[in-house]
A and B are shown apart, each in its own frame.
Chain A
Amino acid sequence: MMDAGRHPLIEVITNAEVTGMSGGPGDFRVQVRKHPRYVDEEKCVACGQCVEACHIVQGNEFDYNLKARKAIYRPFPQSVPAAYVIDMDHCKKCWRCVKVCEPEAIDFDMPARDYEFEVGSIIIAAGFQEFDASALGNYGYARFPNVITSLELERMLNASGVTKGHIVRPSDQQTPRSILFIQCVGARGEGGRPYCSRFCCMNAVKDSLLIRQHDPEVEDITILYTDLRAFGKGFDDFVRRSFDEQSAHYLRGRPSKIEEEPGSQNLTVFVEDTLEHQLKRVPADLVVLSLAAAPSDGAQALAAMLEVGTDQYGFIARRDPAVSAVETARDGIYVCGSAAGPQVIPDCVAQASAAAARAQMFLTGSRSADEKQEVEPLDLSGSPRVGVLVCHCGINISGVLDIDDLTASAAQIDGVVVAAEHQFACSSVGQDKLIELVKEHRLNRVVVAACTPRTHEPVFQETLSGIGFNPYLLEMVNIRDQCSWVHATQPQEAQQKARTLIRMGVARAKNLKPLMEGKSPMTRAALVIGGGIAGIQAATDLAWQGFPVVLVEKTGELGGRLRAPNLKYLYPTMQPAEKVLKQKLMRLKDSGARVLLNSEVEDITGYVGNFEATLSGAVDEKIQIGAVILATGADLYDPAGEFGYGRLTGVITSEELEQRLCHKPAAVQVNGAPPRSAAIILCVGSRDEECFSGCSRYCCPTGIKQAILLSEQGSDVTVFYRDIRTVSIGAEEMYRKARGLGVLFVRIPDGRKPEVLGTEKVTGVRCYDALLDRTLEVEADLLVLGVGMRPLEPETSKFHDILKASLGLDGFFLERHPELAPVETSVEGVLIAGTVQGPKDIVDTVAQASAAAAKATVFLAHDQVRLNPTVAVVDAEKCRGCGCCAEICQFQAPKLVDDGSGVFIAEINASLCKGCGTCASWCPSGAISAQHFTDRQVHAMIDAFFETEAAR
């Protein structure tokens, strides 16, 4: 959020709505009305004095009214912009806030402002709103105080939230001893919503673990569920952790009603335990409703304004839900995240990048931020002349600490030539003061004692850079977040701590060295490895933007698993896969990407911006590229020996069934006739510690799609499943359709496997059905095994070796961060698209491929790579060439090179180094130094701590 707020090319307009739109792709005109916040964002320094002054107390919407706010408030602590807003419905215009506002930011007469923007494309990321739980009377929400929603719980669990992470009952503010979660409230057929909200299962599991951590007083946590939908990467392992730690008791069933005991206001939940076949009354001190996601109130109007339409539930409609998560009915308008239906965060982030990739096709003009004007660097040589600026932060710091004392004590430190204070160092006036100090006192080191460097260091660095002052000669001392805010009740100790911290900061500042940002050239071209749907999409997106792209495919044809005869229909729309592939290939052809079939990548050397790939096959050449997208896909599990596969006729995999469907006529036959009965066993090779502990995600909807196809051609179909995880768009509806057609669903109990009957050919399947509490034996002429995905070998190992990108424990490529960087790897400039990162279906694969393309353009848009100077450097004199650094670095930055005389020494590539400094502490000869966090700087700080504070 802060990155977006600070980006020079992003203008954030809050408190605003779209009021009109005209034009078309590449040339939209959008009208926006910004409602007044009555506080000038430019002037407000977020000091909070107005809030202190205001005497009107309201419920805070962000905390679901569990916490109070004033009529002038910040919606939540990290809000962007960091400015207050006035709730005019409740403000009495008493002027108290105006009187205390030093920057004079408050304006009661602020008008609404209308804007018109000319834009090439539009992205809808308007989110969702939670289902209104009071619509379902049987759960007693809003009637019983101790029935709360998952979002209210979330606010309590938040460490900086309402109850600082502790769970309390709204009725008596006591810690509940028993908590019961009800899943699927307003979802999967309830409250008129057939779809699954995707995030609630994992959220309840996570909450149970968190509550256990925070509140040992909570004795019982029960989760009432229908299917545990842990479909994402690593989700099943997370659930297993919950089982292992016994964080919750899982009970399969939906409650019929909740009753409240008068007086104690304890609750009783009536539910049928469908696994134990018992009606149960579960007592609970607190009930949490896991709410479904609903379309936001404004979605309909927004969709109408932008002429994109909504789907049957009221979410922004996707043009093609089987293939593209981000395309709307109109070119140039894209959607991402939960505006188009409920999503988990990793998928939201991937879709957001995908939408950005598509949006770029209609953008012209400046891609990169205007290059900063080069400023003549100041001469900062000579012995350290340190200036210290102590910030009051309104009353945030000065309310606890004595600022005069801090400046006076700082002024006495050796090397400090001036110590000053300011009300708000980060305000424009404060920044001017800083510049004035630097110039007047010819400072060559600056210490700002204020808030956290994590948010404000860039602000001060930018100011200093603006006058040619090397930004790496700045040190920030955190006397707010880590001092005045947390030691307010012990002001004397806080004062002592602040003094010491400033001394430590000055000590480090004196040892700081000016660092220069390096630059290395960027080859503005990309290599895409793998010609399946992911590779096709990534190459198309990049080539349409005008970047040279080489797409390398080892077989003689593009299309991977979409190619006939591998896949017949795509769920949920039942479009023929062949047709979709044809369209994608046409777009690829038009894009101008260079396609090399029957070719392989032999080797890749270099680093971001400067890779060299050696190709073989159709061509033998070396190509230069700036970024690599890995889209080699996944393999399917081979069930040889299991469930009679390979031994009994009539036992086939889900892929083989697709292949048979591709034949003409599109019918599945067993011994020349359509099967009278068919069985489908899911989770073959998935959710199994022995092969792949995770969920393969695509098999539930695929199995159900196949069940429908078989059922429609006259077979009696039984599906054996563990949890039905129909989480993709339209999949839950398919599940209902299948049940409507008479497909029988049998739940496989945990730890057991169905038994396949027959000697030469399959005749049936026997399995204990936990829901019916008896062993079922069903006839089956055909048995289809829903096989999971697994890493494709040898490709995965080969590219792991060549690129050094990390693999996860599951053997798939590891994303740099599941939420923040789902398509990036540990190697900068190497991106992953599709199932190479883990099992997923086509729509998610395509979104991820576009996301990878978008991330590649982040590099390719510039003709140079900016190199962060806070990296590790090697002192060649001291290096003994042991190679320890190269061994431990995850980013392949250090390398042993011949120094010309046959002696090997380490060299660190600044383009690859992330600056963690681990090698510097690891180096046995002390040859590596972590710039900006050198041994000397750290030791100086340690010295300063203990010199300042004499023994007590």
Chain B
Amino acid sequence: MTKAKTTITDQPVTATGTETWQPRILVFACNWCSYAGADTAGVGRMEHEPHFRMIRVMCSGRIQPAFVLKAFEKGADGVLVSGCHFGDCHYIFGNERAVEQFDKTMNMVKLLGIEPGRLRLEWISAAEGIRFAEIINEFTEQVRQLGPSPLSSKRLDDLRIEEEIDG
């Protein structure tokens, strides 16, 4: 296990001098199941892709379209919404509300021209550390394949460069 060097800065992580693009993924998790599932992955030391950041809310029903849209607006390449399996919700039916919110969000995301593959809804229980790790790996790979989000500054920068070349 090597220790990170103290010289790391907020600059992008680079490999062999050239920039390797990695997706930036925001994960919303409910306190009782999916956040706990991520902890379980930790207790079991289940290695998984590190390119996501997590925001904890009490219930997946709290995750409104504005949160997801904001993330895309700010440049997220993927957003994962997660909660308890049906029948397991700490608040009985909060996750069913989450589905309705999610469907609305998905429609808006499509309208905005963002690939639907960048947004996903998953149910992960507190015990499913492995499932959490697998979903993160799989979703990260999926987003990686899609490349930078059309709204990300990376894609906009590329466009600008293309324009300069063309112009």
Contacts and interface: CB of A to CB of B under 8 A. Distances in A.
Contacts of B63: 921
Contact of A482 (B5, B42, B157): B42
B6 A952 contact: no
B5 to A, nearest CB: 7
Given A454-B31, A493-B51, A499-B10, A480 B57 contact: no
A21 B37 CA distance: 44
Contacts of A935: 64, 66
Given A481-B43, A948-B10, A917 B58 contact: yes
Interface in A908-952: 914-918, 920-922, 930, 933, 935, 938-939, 941-943, 945-946, 948-952
B1 to A, nearest CB: 6
Given A402-B3, A935-B66, A946-B74, A916 B61 contact: yes
Contacts of B45: 485-486, 488
B67 A486 contact: no
A378 to B, nearest CB: 26
A534 to B, nearest CB: 24
A496 B5 CA distance: 11
Interface in A475-489: 478, 480-483, 485-489
B42 A916 contact: no
Interface string B15-40: 00001111010100001000110111
A890 B93 contact: yes
A501 interface: yes
Interface in B47-68: 47-48, 50-51, 53-59, 61-64, 66-67
Given A77-B43, A159-B127, A488 B59 contact: no
A500 B1 CA distance: 22
A490 interface: yes
Interface residues of B, number: 70
A528 to B, nearest CB: 24
A945 B59 contact: no
Contact of B57 (A483, A504, A917, A943): A917
Interface residues of A, number: 71
A933 B30 CA distance: 12
Contacts of B44: 159-161, 164
A629 B81 CA distance: 38
A946 B10 contact: no
Given A165-B130, A492-B8, A950-B12, A917 B62 contact: yes
A846 B36 CA distance: 35
A664 B6 CA distance: 91
A488 B94 CA distance: 34
A393 to B, nearest CB: 12
Contacts of A916: 58-59, 61-62, 90-91, 94
A918 B63 CA distance: 8
B43 to A, nearest CB: 5
Given A917-B62, A942-B70, A951-B154, A402 B43 contact: no
Given A160-B40, A949-B24, A942 B71 contact: yes
B8 A454 contact: no
A412 to B, nearest CB: 9
Contacts of A482: 38-39, 41-42, 54
B50 A399 contact: no
Given A160-B40, A402-B6, A914-B91, A952 B47 contact: no
Contacts of A951: 12, 75, 148, 152-154, 157
Contacts of A499: 10
B129 interface: yes
Given A160-B40, A486-B133, A491-B3, A500 B21 contact: no
Nearest to B14: A952
A486 B48 contact: yes
B62 to A, nearest CB: 4
Contact of A496 (B1, B13, B127): B13
Contact of A946 (B8, B42, B56, B76): B76
Contacts of A385: none
Contacts of B90: 914, 916
A214 interface: yes
Contacts of B39: 452, 454, 478, 481-482
A942 B55 contact: yes
Interface in B78-99: 90-94, 97-98
Given A160-B40, A399-B1, A933 B53 contact: no
B4 interface: yes
B21 to A, nearest CB: 6
A950 B127 contact: no
Nearest to A917: B62
B11 interface: yes
B128 interface: yes
Nearest to A160: B44
A487 B47 contact: yes
Given A164-B46, A500-B53, A933-B57, A921 B62 contact: yes
A405 B4 contact: yes
Contact of A952 (B24, B36, B41): B24
Nearest to B148: A951
Nearest to A932: B58
A573 interface: no
B145 interface: no
A405 B24 CA distance: 22
Interface in B120-160: 127-131, 133, 148, 152-154, 157
A165 B44 CA distance: 10
A628 to B, nearest CB: 18
A203 interface: no
A160 B129 contact: yes
A622 B5 CA distance: 72
Of B20, B31, B45, B62, the most chain A CB neighbours within 10 A belong to B62
B63 to A, nearest CB: 7
A689 to B, nearest CB: 19
Given A159-B40, A159-B127, A922-B101, 20 more contacts: A400-B4, A402-B3, A402-B4, A482-B38, A485-B45, A488-B1, A488-B45, A489-B1, A489-B47, A493-B50, A496-B13, A501-B54, A890-B91, A917-B58, A917-B61, A918-B97, A921-B63, A921-B101, A942-B26, A949-B24
- Lowest 7 A-B CB distances belong to which pairs? A918-B61, A481-B42, A160-B44, A921-B64, A917-B62, A916-B59, A946-B74
29 contacts: A159-B40, A165-B130, A399-B1, A399-B3, A454-B35, A481-B43, A482-B38, A485-B43, A487-B50, A491-B1, A496-B8, A497-B53, A916-B61, A916-B91, A917-B62, A918-B91, A918-B97, A921-B63, A922-B64, A930-B58, A933-B58, A942-B26, A942-B71, A946-B75, A950-B10, A951-B152, A951-B153, A951-B154, A952-B19
Interface of B: 1-6, 8, 10-13, 19-22, 24, 26, 31, 35-36, 38-48, 50-51, 53-59, 61-64, 66-67, 70-71, 74-76, 90-94, 97-98, 101, 127-131, 133, 148, 152-154, 157
